[in-house]
Amino acid sequence: MVKKLKIFYFFIFSFSLTLSFLLLFIVFEKKNLNPSLKNQKLEEINEKEIDKELKEKIGQMIVIGFRGTKVSENSPIVRAIKELNLGGVILFDYDIPSKSFPRNILTPEQTKKLISDLQKFSSIPLFIAVDAEGGKINRLKENYGFLKIPSHEELGKINDLNFTKQEISKLSKQLKDLGFNVNFAPVLDLNTNLQNPIIGKLGRSFSSDPEIVFSQAKVFIKAHVENGVIPIVKHFPGHGSSFSDSHLEMVDVTNSWEEEELIPYKKLKNENLLFGVMVGHVFNKKIDKDYPATLSPKFLQEILRKEIGFNGVIISDDLQMGAIKKHYSLEEAIIKAINAGCDVLLFSNNIEEYDENLPYKVFDIIFQAVKEGKISKERIFEAFERVINLKKEFGIIK
């Protein structure tokens, strides 16, 4: 019996010793004999971290439209805000694809709650944008219970800066009280073509005189800044001389555009009153024979950045407009706009059709373009930094 126990213990001891040596050998192999495998694992971890950071930044470059006068945790736009870290949204009163009211804006009380609810779901506070120029281009209409604001044309004709300040102070205070922090206004286009279907005929220009446009815009901008609302000037480099509407088709201003259309931009920049610039889909062969301003490095880098000296946020006009959509695929438009210098891409999701998956499509196009080397990571990081700095400057990010 004792002999059997000795044999048993010897067997256990031998097995344990063998197992220990085997484990030590495996550890030694992992640590010393497979450095390439170890490096591969580290590279995979690093790549995942880089992708995560990249995705967080891409979302901030997207401002998009959506349907709904109220939202909940299950709303498509809320899911997109949370999953993609979207930079912002734009609100409308009218839904063009369905030809019906309301889209987002119904009453002051409802609009304020909608905006408040949207912000609750965002990790980085959103840009909440609207077109509130006054006159005909105003999503906050008097019959909904909002203030009536004069058009740019009316303000320019009166040309009383005190009156402009009084009216626009009321507008910007109303925007702030509702929760809007971005107004896509004022319009800096010169009213050089009274037959212009999208500017002149709609009373959207202060004047054909660049000095009046500058002085009126200066007051307009200051009133917004005082109330903590970001004024985004438009439509660089000038849409006032056109004979067509970029919502429908490409606008060629080659033979009508004048250098003086840049004067309001230059003078506002000299007074540190340019915070964001929206670029129009205007085509000018004398400056760029290949691309409209939105997709043109010549317009955005050589003129807006270098000549004018603007280093703030550049935002595209709606990339779903006919001027772009009829000539470029969604992927082409996005890649060219970012590489040209647009820091924020605007998609109204409110022209021909509505697509609740559009935020994901835009996001995926940008992410894949970076992975394939069509857009540099540095370009994304640069745009992200400008967006965050603007949000901090206006107290959107505390």
The pLDDT tens digits of the residues spanning 28-39 come to 445 554 556 545
For residue 47, tell me if it sits in a domain: no
Q: How far apart are CA 390 and CA 292, in angstroms?
A: 26
For residue 38, tell me if it sits in a domain: no
Q: How far apart are CA 91 and CA 321, in angstroms?
A: 17
pLDDT computed for residue 381 by the predictor: 98
Nearest to 83 by CA among 65, 58, 116: 58
Cis amide leading into 125 (omega within 30): no
What Cα–Cα distance (Å) separates residue 362 from each residue in 318, 356, 365? 13, 12, 5
pLDDT computed for residue 6 by the predictor: 46
Nearest to 268 by CA among 301, 221, 303: 221
What Cα–Cα distance (Å) separates residue 388 from each residue in 59, 131, 300, 382, 398? 12, 22, 20, 10, 11
Asked if 185 and 232 count as a contact pair (C-beta separation under 8 A), the reply is yes
pLDDT computed for residue 123 by the predictor: 96
pLDDT beyond 90 at 1: no
Q: Which tens digit of pLDDT belongs to each residue from 109-126?
A: 999 999 999 999 999 999
Q: Is 224 known to be catalytic? A: no
Q: What is the dihedral of CA 56, 58, 59, 64, to 10 degrees?
A: 180
Q: Which tens digit of pLDDT belongs to each residue from 304-320?
A: 999 999 999 999 999 99
Q: What is the CA radius of gyration of the chain?
A: 28
For residue 52, tell me if it sits in a domain: no
Find the catalytic residue in 247, 281, 318, 343: 247
pLDDT beyond 80 at 46: no
Q: What is the mean pLDDT of residues 210-233?
A: 99
pLDDT computed for residue 49 by the predictor: 78
Q: How far apart are CA 237 and CA 335, in angstroms?
A: 21
Burial 327-343 (b: 16+ CB within 10 A, else e): bbebbebbbbbbbbbbb
Tokens of 299: 């317009």
pLDDT beyond 50 at 19: no
pLDDT beyond 70 at 16: no
For residue 25, tell me if it sits in a domain: no
Q: Which residues contact residue 111 at a Cβ distance below 8 angstroms, ignoring those fewer than 6 apart?
A: 91, 104, 105, 140, 178, 179
For residue 151, tell me if it sits in a domain: yes
pLDDT computed for residue 12 by the predictor: 47
pLDDT computed for residue 45 by the predictor: 58
Find the catalytic residue in 189, 245, 288, 317: 317
pLDDT computed for residue 245 by the predictor: 82
User: Which residues on adjacent β-strands are paired with residue 345?
Assistant: 62
Angle between helix 210-226 and 161-178 (nearest 10): 40
pLDDT computed for residue 120 by the predictor: 98
**Where residue 14 falls among pLDDT bands split at 50, 70, 90?**
low
Task: Indicate which CATH number applies to the domain containing 170.
Answer: 3.20.20.300
Q: Beta strands of 19-113 (E only): which ranges? A: 62-65, 88-90
Q: How far apart are CA 398 and CA 235, in angstroms?
A: 30
Q: What is the mean pLDDT of residues 252-281?
A: 98
**Where residue 41 falls among pLDDT bands split at 50, 70, 90?**
low
Please tell me which residue, 50 or 287, carries the higher pLDDT value.
Answer: 287
**Where residue 50 falls among pLDDT bands split at 50, 70, 90?**
confident
pLDDT computed for residue 2 by the predictor: 42
For residue 40, tell me if it sits in a domain: no
Burial bucket for residue 110 (CB in 10 Å: 0-12, 13-18, 19+): middle
* Domain containing residue 80: 60-393
pLDDT beyond 70 at 371: yes
Q: How far apart are CA 55 and CA 367, in angstroms?
A: 7
The label of the residue with tokens 């800066």 reads: 161
pLDDT computed for residue 40 by the predictor: 61
pLDDT computed for residue 28 by the predictor: 46
Number of domains in the chain: 1
pLDDT computed for residue 250 by the predictor: 86
pLDDT computed for residue 7 by the predictor: 45
For residue 10, tell me if it sits in a domain: no
Tokens of 298: 């010549």
User: What is the reported pTM?
Assistant: 0.89
Q: Which residues contact residue 25 at a Cβ distance below 8 angstroms, ignoring those fewer than 6 apart?
A: none
For residue 15, tell me if it sits in a domain: no
Q: How far apart are CA 270 and CA 109, in angstroms?
A: 39
Q: Is 317 known to be catalytic? A: yes
